[in-house]
Amino acid sequence: MKSNTLLKNISLFIFLFFSIVVLKRLTVFYLAQNQTISYESYLLTKTIYNVILAVVSFYMIKINGLKELAGITKIKPKKIGLVIIGGLYLILLNIVFSDDIINATITNVSVLLIYCISIGLSEELSIRGFLQSSLVNYFKNPKKAIFIASLFFGIVHLIRFDKGVYGESSQVFYAAFIGVMFGVLLLITKRIYPLVIIHALIDFFAKIDRVGQNFNIENINTTLTSLPNAVLNILVVLPCLLYGLFLMKKYIVNNHN
């Protein structure tokens, strides 16, 4: 594919990506503007938008001939243990820092699990599947593609604006560091579904202590993060960046034909 065409497709995708993310945010605000919305309704609303993003991402991957780079093939995943190592670290991290679970029911835990699966699908297909794969083709340089896609993944988290300056800044680093690790793992394993599964589990254990909490405008926007906690958030996820860089040096050849 010609560079100009590829760049136009990347630009189109970024526009669609932000449109869907912003619409999701606005829909939640609209629903919670004058009333408290149930936990299940809140997550199912966001799940619908995640599914839309996943479908758009898959379509963009397919029409741009990126299925192999995006790991959407029938080949057996390679070195799956590397994904498990990185994923288990983040899962255990979320368990250690989680609060008590007080509102869990079969219904809301099931809704949370579905929501987390939709996060894994939408974010992996969009960021790693389409964007990173497109950048690999554009730059002919997998390492540069990983870093740019990971930075984009970090910046996307600024859209939330619900954790204060320190919290938002730490989320950029948090997501970008994980993005580097996941980006490298996609190119090593050559399959995207292990990343979708691990991503979903990481989010599930990160959110399980808030299961069942109803939402309104006030509690959507009052989770401010202090500077010490923001620094801690960055430090605890730093091993993901180091792990990703180690794997990149060991397995990723800096060219693409």
Q: Does position 125 have pLDDT exceeding 80, yes or no?
A: yes
- Please count the structural domains in the chain: 1
Percent of the residues in the chain that have a pLDDT greater than 70, as a whole number: 92
Residue 42 within any structural domain of the chain: yes
User: What is the residue-averaged pLDDT of the chain?
Assistant: 91
Q: Does position 204 have pLDDT exceeding 80, yes or no?
A: yes
Q: What is the DSSP annotation of 32-92?
A: HSSSPBPHHHHHHHHHHHHHHHHHHHHHHHHHTT-TTTTT-SSSPPS-HHHHHHHHHHHHH
Q: pLDDT at position 214, please? A: 75
Residue 49 within any structural domain of the chain: yes
Q: Does position 219 have pLDDT exceeding 70, yes or no?
A: no
Residue 235 within any structural domain of the chain: yes
36 band by pLDDT with thresholds 50, 70 and 90: confident
Torsion of CA 95, 97, 103, 109, to 10 degrees: -40
Average the pLDDT over 157-170 and give the result.
72
Residue 257 within any structural domain of the chain: no
Residue that has been written with the tokens 């001939």 in this structure:
65
Q: pLDDT at position 1, please? A: 60
- Which structural domain range is residue 203 located in? 3-251
Residue 256 within any structural domain of the chain: no
